[in-house]
Amino acid sequence: ILNNATTGLSLFCCTYSVIINNTCENNNDRGIELSYSDNSTVINNTCNNNDRGIDIWSSDSSTVANNTFTNCGLKISEETIDAYLSYTVENNWVNEKPLGFYTNLDSTIIAEPVYGQLILANCTNVIVRDQILNNATTGLSLFCCTYSVIINNTCNNNVYDGIYLYSSGSSTVTNNTCENNNFGIYLLYSGSSTVTNNTCKNNNNQGIDILFSDSSTVANNTFTNCGLKISEETIDAYLSYTVEDNRVNGKKLGFYTNLDSTIIDEPVYGQLILANCTNVIVR
């Protein structure tokens, strides 16, 4: 199933399906898409050069095994952790390396750089370090993990995110390199986290994109040809962030809150973010 503008093979509301021994290459979106198809099996498929090799959501109790990915990978999306934990994911390969899929880990260090892609769910106090996670769909994904430390990893040339945290609060993301991804580092619903000393370069959208992750700290990060975006629903949540000492294209990232009757006219900034300010002139 080759060279489609969108998805090679798509199943919607097809429970107890078996997808086996297919080759899905050079599709602009997904190689294989499975949605609302519980108890399905996706095995022994080859997915090359798709945006998402295999993309699954709302398909509880499905199995993904013995698939091979090149320049793409696996994405699983669920609304609850119980649904996520119902999947069986084993013996898959990304760029000739194992796809690491781990659930329910506690106080564990993942340091051996053997993986092509890493997915963690419902883990606590896990350290992921020294990995090289390039040319996948997303290099490193955390789903409902707490007190994680993501340190000294290289996540480059991934189709979507270098590092992605969903509902993974109180995490630390530090000293990572994320280049040429769509998003370098993406936090969603992951409050009270710390994102420091990362290098984000040439990511198509944001170097660091943070949504609904209040009380987090973003400090001492370096951006080249990308930058920082923070999105919140309330000003109180926005003001709960600490953003300091970041650099964009060799210049300061200016993050100012609660300014009143202020003029910003010194041309020293690579990016400017203002929140809850009144009578401010930027020129």
Domain borders along the chain are 1-82, 95-245
State the pTM of this model: 0.96
**Cβ neighbours around 235 below 10 Å, total:** 12
Residues forming a β-bridge with 64? 42, 89
Per-residue pLDDT of the chain (283 residues; tens, 9 = 90+): 555 556 788 899 999 999 999 999 988 678 999 999 999 999 999 999 988 899 999 999 999 999 999 999 999 999 899 999 999 999 999 999 999 999 999 999 999 999 999 999 999 999 999 999 999 999 999 999 999 999 999 999 999 999 999 999 999 999 999 999 999 999 999 999 999 999 999 999 999 999 999 999 999 999 999 999 999 999 999 999 999 999 999 999 999 999 999 999 999 999 999 999 999 999 9
Question: Under a CB-based contact definition with an 8 Å cutoff, are residues 8 and 50 in contact?
Answer: yes
Q: Tokens 């300091």 correspond to what residue?
A: 244
Picking from 103, 57, 102, the residue whose alpha carbon sits closest to that of residue 79 is 57
Both structure tokens of 49:
């050069």
Pairing mode of beta strands 93-94, 97-103: antiparallel
Q: Residue 221: helix, strand or coil by DSSP?
A: coil
- CATH class of the region 95-245: mainly beta
Degrees (nearest 5) of the Cα angle 88, 91, 96?
Answer: 140
165: amino acid identity, one letter: L
What is residue 5's predicted lDDT score, i.e. its pLDDT?
A: 52
